[in-house]
Structure 1
């Protein structure tokens, strides 16, 4: 394992804070490109790798002048599509939703509490070491772009503080289509509700909804609450000390004018903007981004959203009104 871990083909695939260990797995260029999620669904048959002490990660922070750039987002807003479109650039290696980042994001809010499995120093070192390894793109690529899970947005500021050359795209969409997207899928509602605790904590920290507890809030409002929290977080990042390294991207704008918005993203990430037309013509537009074997285009999405707005119209209107009142309290 010692020799293997010096090979960038091995990724830190899982982080186990209880056992203080890391699962390292070999994933080749094709396996990385095909994976919509770098979690159990991406583990190949006869996988090569194994568990090793946490120190094997913390001791492997390499200096790099080209850290992986990142896509952070609110969830179910086209971020996987954007990541696959960026795969059009031959020098880009896309890494989608690596599991250790989610583990760190779950741990981060409680690092100063006695129940934390990781010390603040371990967590900070782990984030730095993970990003260092994910920045080591496999040939023929020269640059990695990591698409995080939507529950990882609490790590954006710490990560940007660590990585002065990191650039980030923050992706979202307006509240109404966001709610319609979530409410048409129970699994999407579950994803949003799973992140609602951290998002409510963020709102409380900024004086919003301090009278609220999560158990009091119905699920459709939890979805809207998460949207509000991320709007506030993204706005603060874009206007803050790292604002020159942040690009806001609206999924609806990307659908309306792909060439314009992809040009903005490519320029932000320092990619060759002459390849935007190739990305606009990518077959990824007509496929379900998380399962490329399924056809799903812009017309399919528009139909599904219209149906969802009819089916869940009362909940959408209720959540919109509730958020409007909450935002001004």
Structure 2
């Protein structure tokens, strides 16, 4: 299959790799840290070349909260393929401000749809666990209709802070960059971040406050997405729930929200519908159920 690995959506340059489900499944992350390609080619997409992909199923997360574990639990060879942190979506998220300003080869919906067309190939149901860097583009993903199903995974502030410091300088530096990246996506985020940076305090204390703010900003973005009521069956899960009972969480909360079988068109809204694997009641994007 062809897989969109890198994508500069401002000028259309992209790296397309030839790969297969086994290589994608074996890679811990699809961000370039591991080789999962049988070959690659460089292409330049223009507006006329863009494809239209179906809405996808996502695991959004705050980072350091068990998202890789959840992705591995969801993944089922021959049925479900979980893509862990594809770089092309991170590229789009990094350029979202320029895309919103009309500097991309298409609008946000067109660019995201094109990426999903290349990420959603193959016979398996695709579930995408993006990098939490993509949380900055969450408003764009939801507004464009790109999210068919979603689970939002988080942890408590203490767990997040411990995990961030346990990762050392590199992880703390990532948290600082991401906090700066997300600050303008939430109300008063830039003002609060600037205040924390300006405080006269020990460097580790300052970093701890920035990490706590980062966690709060990501949860605020999740709450905004959930409040739009545009994602059928979406819900927030916690690391505590996942680690206490992985099987139970999958059976009752995660899997039904992420996995469903295609069932044609809904008679009410004429859109693709689906059914929970553990239920005979169809659930449609419009909220209509055959049992109603």
Equivalent residue for 1:192?
175
- Could you give the per-residue CA deviations for residues 241-286 of structure 1, whole angstroms, max 9, x where no partner exists? 3254422110111111223311211111235349xxxxxxxxxxxx
CA 58–171 in structure 1, closer or farther in 2 if over 3 Å, else same? farther
CA 248–20 in structure 1, closer or farther in 2 if over 3 Å, else same? same
Residue 81 (structure 2) pairs with residue 81 (structure 1): no
Please give the secondary structure, in 2, of the residue aligned with 1:69: strand
Contact 2:113–2:146 (8 Å) recurs in 1: no
**How far apart, in 2, do the equivalents of 1:125 and 1:164 lie?**
10
Contact 2:57–2:150 (8 Å) recurs in 1: yes
CA 19–202 in structure 1, closer or farther in 2 if over 3 Å, else same? closer
Aligned CA-pair RMSD: 2.6
- Could you give the per-residue CA deviations for residues 6-37 of structure 1, whole angstroms, max 9, x where no partner exists? xxx01111113565311110111111001121
Equivalent residue for 2:188?
207
Please give the secondary structure, in 1, of the residue aligned with 2:127: strand
CA 84–118 in structure 1, closer or farther in 2 if over 3 Å, else same? same
Contact 1:238–1:244 (8 Å) recurs in 2: no
Please give the secondary structure, in 2, of the residue aligned with 1:42: coil
**How far apart, in 1, do the equivalents of 2:99 and 2:147 lie?**
26
Please give the secondary structure, in 2, of the residue aligned with 1:210: helix
**How far apart, in 2, do the equivalents of 1:227 and 1:111 lie?**
26
Runs (4+) of structure 1 exceeding 4 A deviation are none
Q: Report the TM-score when normalising by structure 1.
A: 0.69
Equivalent residue for 1:235?
223
Equivalent residue for 1:221?
209
Residue 41 (structure 2) pairs with residue 50 (structure 1): yes
Residue 255 (structure 2) pairs with residue 266 (structure 1): yes
Contact 2:142–2:230 (8 Å) recurs in 1: yes
Equivalent residue for 1:129?
114
**How far apart, in 2, do the equivalents of 1:146 and 1:209 lie?**
29
- Could you give the per-residue CA deviations for residues 21-64 of structure 1, whole angstroms, max 9, x where no partner exists? 1111011111100112112223347x4221011238942325x4
**How far apart, in 2, do the equivalents of 1:154 and 1:57 lie?**
27
Residue 134 (structure 2) pairs with residue 152 (structure 1): yes
Counting helix residues as a fraction of each chain, which structure ranks higher?
1
Counting strand residues as a fraction of each chain, which structure ranks higher?
2
Contact 2:7–2:91 (8 Å) recurs in 1: yes
Residue 27 (structure 2) pairs with residue 35 (structure 1): yes
**How many residues align structurally?**
254
CA 164–193 in structure 1, closer or farther in 2 if over 3 Å, else same? closer
Equivalent residue for 1:25?
17
CA 163–245 in structure 1, closer or farther in 2 if over 3 Å, else same? farther
The Cα of 1:99 is off from its aligned counterpart by 0.7
**How far apart, in 2, do the equivalents of 1:243 and 1:37 lie?**
26
CA 228–12 in structure 1, closer or farther in 2 if over 3 Å, else same? same
The Cα of 1:109 is off from its aligned counterpart by 2.8
Contact 2:9–2:111 (8 Å) recurs in 1: no
Equivalent residue for 2:60?
72
1:176 aligned to which of 158, 167, 192: 158
CA 57–183 in structure 1, closer or farther in 2 if over 3 Å, else same? farther
2:85 aligned to which of 94, 97, 103: 97
Please give the secondary structure, in 2, of the residue aligned with 1:227: helix
Equivalent residue for 2:50?
59
Residue 246 (structure 2) pairs with residue 252 (structure 1): no
1:118 aligned to which of 104, 109, 113: 104
CA 23–238 in structure 1, closer or farther in 2 if over 3 Å, else same? same
The Cα of 1:112 is off from its aligned counterpart by 4.8
